[in-house]
Amino acid sequence: MINRISTYTPTMMVSTNPPIVEIEDENTFEETLADVVSTQSTGDCPENLESIFETASETYHISLDLLKAVAKAESDFNPNCTSSSGAMGIMQLMPGTAKELGVTNAYDPEQNIMAGAKYLSENLDIFKDNISLAVAAYNAGRGAVKKYAGIPPYSETQSYVKKVLSYMNEDIEIPSSAVTT
């Protein structure tokens, strides 16, 4: 169920796909439920998002701080959110971009983070390691950045770039609510 939002901003996210908990046999339901509840309360994820970010950072030669800053700005590390424009998962991949990057399940944290890192790395290559332009392209599209030969004059994109850059200067902790199954 999605609750009505009293105020709207273009970057609001709603969770539409709850985590799937696979239960192998009926006798283990109580144990599985207890594991999920204890994982959510302690923040110990079955899949460690931190290690996925580190792997993505190393694989695509991208700053871990930049990668986590984009994820925080995009979804606050919520693997199950969908934006009003249809962007999905932690890195808020648009369906077409996800498909181009070979993602089969955009709500799978590993696929989503790896694809987001790859896309961000490609942006850095295209824009000659200019972080502001790469981040602007992540938000508004590469075409918009090329068209304006810089950060597009969209208030959302300009705010987004500032937000990501400010997050890069923080020690970002992945919240315990970003539980994956």
In angstroms, the first-to-last Cα distance of the chain is 20
Q: What single letter denotes the amino acid at residue 149?
A: A
Distance (Å, whole) CA 83 – CA 66: 21
74 in catalytic set: yes
Distance (Å, whole) CA 133 – CA 151: 6
Distance (Å, whole) CA 70 – CA 82: 15
Which of 22, 54, 74, 170 does the annotation list as catalytic?
Answer: 74
Residue 116 exposed, middle or buried by CB count within 10 Å (0-12, 13-18, 19+):
buried
Contact 91, 75 (CB under 8 A): yes
Q: Is the dihedral of CA 118, 11, 130, 143 positive or negative?
A: positive
Beta bridge pairs of residue 83: 13
Strands (E), 47-153: 81-83
Residues annotated catalytic, as ranges: 74
